[in-house]
Chains A and B, each alone.
Chain A
Amino acid sequence: MNTFFLCIAIGLCLLMALPLVRCLFGPTVLDRLIGVNAIGSKTVVLLLLIGVLYERVDMFVDIALAYAFLNFVAVIAASRYFHKRKGLYEESFMD
């Protein structure tokens, strides 16, 4: 069973590369924000899997909860920050 959990964890790590590509080459700032949100939501599951593998779930469950909360606050704060930049993306949008 531990081998299966390890395989799922490695698969999640490989899966994080796809939103990372969107983070690096996103046309607008908000695309990068989507990528960061997707990576953070996968990290929550990855932390729980690490806790199961190390048999310290009681510690890692709190870390995962704190990480989910921090991810949410970061996305909310960044999107509120970009509220007032009207017309910032006009030149980067492909017509």
Chain B
Amino acid sequence: MNILVILCLVIGFLFSLGGAVGIIRMPDFYSRLHPAGKLDTLGIFAMVMGLALYNLTHFSFESLLLSVKMFLIVFFVFMSSPTATHSIVDSGMRAGLRPWTKKKGKE
């Protein structure tokens, strides 16, 4: 059980690391939203699922209730994080932010 928890947490940490590096390194606003929207969601999913599994080690009614609450957090994040990302993209499109392209005229 502990090995599964450690595996979940490390996988989630790696996904969060990829998301953070992508937010720094991407060249453009729209491409920066790609790691921010997807990798953070998957990182939260893996890490909170690992914590919920660790919570179920000493099984009782309270720990089951806490794990269900953690699963509800994951469910809420899975609904809310793409919605927030889409809202930011919509705001950028309406404000007239142009996507990044290769500059062919200046070569």
Contacts and interface: CB of A to CB of B under 8 A. Distances in A.
Interface of A: 1, 4-5, 8, 11-12, 15-16, 18-19, 21-22, 27-28, 30-31, 33-35, 37-38, 41-42, 44-45, 48-49, 52, 57-58, 61-62, 64-65, 68-69, 72, 75-76, 79-80, 82-90, 93
A83 B66 contact: no
B interface, by DSSP: helix, strand, loop or mixed? helix
A87 B92 CA distance: 10
Contacts of A90: 96
Given A61-B66, A76-B87, A83 B47 contact: no
A26 to B, nearest CB: 9
Contacts, number: 145
A44 B70 CA distance: 11
Given A57-B55, A82-B91, A87-B96, A34 B73 contact: no
Contacts of A22: 23-24, 32
Interface string B77-107: 1001101110110111011111000000000
B92 A30 contact: yes
B72 to A, nearest CB: 7
A50 to B, nearest CB: 11
